[in-house]
Structure 1
């Protein structure tokens, strides 16, 4: 992205729900707020739109249920008054939010994607965005994820059992696979430094 004035930063699911989730101790980047804050500050300085997206699961009683009080940006992340804060019930940021309509109205054609989880809501958002015709930067080091259980693993296991299972896909592998899947097809893989640096 190069200062064209038609850009937006999508901050996907960087919300307190994850800090309250049992898997939070396994998160790949517990300091996710820092790189996301850097991107937000840079976007605002450049005059780019910032859009916040929060995942909700109404009626579930879990940490993603709005009634839990945790469906809000993580501490130290504060949307500005003119920045949309959307709630979604799907994995991607487009399907249940009207995001495409908002971005189209604003003239946005270039997106940077950051947030939680790398291979789930962030990757799915990047894929949909590319299919809708947006030029997408996937800012991997401003994403975070958790280990993923093998498809044949029994439900209801503890975090310790998840981590002890040699079939569990670890966060480094997940992030690498996401980059392989997106690069050259759906997005340009970039770092926070590349997005915020000169040029």
Structure 2
């Protein structure tokens, strides 16, 4: 039997204070992640909030920005702070999940191709079944040398490399339906 948990990664106020912040996909993201959280809570599934913490800047605890974005109204079952891209290294998340017999993770949050993807890969390597709900994720355009990848291209690239290898890519509706 599968026991599931929703892992909400880095949906924190800190991002509003980064120079790359853009509102382009934000309203769709808010709607999707709220639907996913509400659906998981109705199924009495634990919701885990993960926040990225740095020594300085808007991701430092001293900044006051390491807290849920204002539109989030859920009460997390537990919150972990991370200092690297994945939600497992030195956080206690793996222990918390295993003690509860959780073997299926549903991942949502911010920076699809960074912290969400890295967490999915590590979770898969640790033996968890992973649902990657990129519809309930947000990212921002990235530039390297003379090439810029917009958020939709990054999302598609991430879905392509994860699907069937590290995770099952699902929409909010597909994910919630699969849990019933």
Alignment CA distance shift 1:28-1:177 (3 Å): farther
Q: Is the 8 A contact 1:5 1:48 kept in 2?
A: no
| 1:25-174 correspondence runs (5 A) | 25=22, 29-31=25-27, 32-58=29-55, 60=56, 62-80=57-75, 83-150=77-144, 152=145, 167-174=147-154
Cα deviation, 1:84-107, whole Å, max 9, x if unaligned, reads 011100100000211000000111
Cα deviation, 1:3-50, whole Å, max 9, x if unaligned, reads x5610000000011112222112x552122321111111111111111
SS in 2 for 1:113: strand
SS in 2 for 1:133: coil
Q: Is the 8 A contact 2:130 2:166 kept in 1?
A: yes
Structure with max Cα Rg: 1
Q: Is the 8 A contact 1:7 1:109 kept in 2?
A: yes
SS in 1 for 2:91: coil
Partner of 1:160: none
Q: Distance in 1 between matches of 2:163 and 2:24?
A: 21
Normalised by the length of structure 1, the TM-score is: 0.84
Q: Which has the higher strand share?
A: 2
Q: Is the 8 A contact 1:9 1:48 kept in 2?
A: yes
5+ long unaligned stretches in structure 2: none
Q: Is the 8 A contact 2:2 2:103 kept in 1?
A: no
Alignment CA distance shift 1:187-1:5 (3 Å): closer
**How many residues get paired?**
178
Tell me how large the CA RMSD over aligned residues is: 1.6
Q: Distance in 2 between matches of 1:47 and 1:14?
A: 21
